[in-house]
């Protein structure tokens, strides 16, 4: 799962980023509104953690930008401001949650997971797709109740394809989601072929149909059609 942390307090930003990476997330971190606008304008994220009071602007401005772009990212406001008006404004603008500082990092993690469950599988702790069952929190995949063991990168790839089913995803978009924004400087994305090949083989060896379609010259699409 790819996150964007927008936090100007350096010490806090380092702690949050380190913790989220240790929990298996890919977490980018910026410290002001212009940097955040650059990231949001070019890259996509599963969830965005945004402070309200930021240099050169406001977190509310960034939420408005995300909604104008019709972003599907979950949004959690993390702020020292705990006034009711701020909470209501954030929620009215379209944020999914509001967490007042100081907070415990495991609580932040739980709220991120809760938002992704609501967005991906209607609040249940598992996802069903044809003969496939996925439990995102424990990174478990079953095909006809038979467990399938994937590496972390393979699981992330599978989840990204599944959560964007019926959409064609470019190789560059997939690589960026798996490895972070700097991967867009790579000369080639051929390494994705190995990941896709491994996921396909492991699923099919367990009796799963091949839902990962190669789109020539572009990338991949996850679809049963």
Which residue segment(s) compose the domain that 211 sits in? Answer: 127-222
DSSP the chain: -EEEEE---HHHHHHHHHHHHHTT-EEEEE-SHHHHHHHHHH---SEEEE-SEETTEEHHHHHHHHHHTT---EEEEEES---HHHHHHHHHHT-SEEEESS--HHHHHHHHHHHHHHHHHTT-SSEEETTEEEEGGGTEEEETTEEE---HHHHHHHHHHHHTTTSEEEHHHHHHHHH-GGGGG-S--THHHHHHHHHHHHHHHTT----EEEETTTEEEE---
pLDDT digits 0-9 by tens, 100-150: 888 899 999 999 988 887 776 655 678 888 999 998 878 899 999 999 999
pLDDT digits 0-9 by tens, 47-83: 999 999 899 999 999 999 999 888 888 999 998 776 6
pLDDT digits 0-9 by tens, 141-191: 999 999 999 998 999 999 999 888 888 998 888 888 888 877 766 667 778
Are both 97 and 134 inside the same structural domain?
no
Are both 112 and 11 inside the same structural domain?
yes
Q: pTM for the full model?
A: 0.71
Are both 27 and 66 inside the same structural domain?
yes
Are both 98 and 144 inside the same structural domain?
no
* Domain total in the chain: 2
């Amino acid at each position: 799962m790819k996150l964007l942390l927008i936090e100007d307090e350096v010490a806090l930003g380092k702690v949050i980023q380190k913790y989220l990476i240790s929990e298996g997330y890919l977490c980018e971190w910026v410290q002001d509104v212009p940097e955040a606008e650059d990231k949001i304008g070019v890259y996509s994220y599963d969830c965005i953690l945004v402070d309200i009071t930021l240099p050169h602007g406001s977190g509310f401005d960034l939420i408005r930008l995300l909604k104008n772009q019709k972003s599907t990212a979950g949004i959690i406001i993390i702020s020292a401001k705990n006034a009711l008006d701020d909470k209501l404004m954030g929620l009215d603008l379209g944020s999914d949650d509001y967490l007042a500082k100081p907070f415990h990092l495991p609580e932040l993690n739980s709220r991120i997971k809760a938002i992704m469950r609501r967005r991906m599988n209607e609040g249940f702790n598992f996802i069903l797709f044809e003969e496939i069952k996925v439990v995102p929190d424990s990174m478990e995949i079953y095909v006809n109740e038979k467990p399938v063991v994937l590496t972390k990168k393979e699981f992330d790839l599978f989840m990204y394809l599944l959560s964007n089913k019926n959409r064609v995803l470019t190789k560059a978009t997939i690589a960026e989601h798996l490895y972070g924004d700097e991967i867009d400087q790579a000369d080639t994305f051929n390494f994705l072929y190995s990941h896709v090949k491994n996921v396909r083989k492991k699923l099919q060896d367990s009796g799963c149909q091949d839902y990962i379609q190669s789109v020539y010259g572009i990338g991949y699409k996850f679809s049963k059609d």
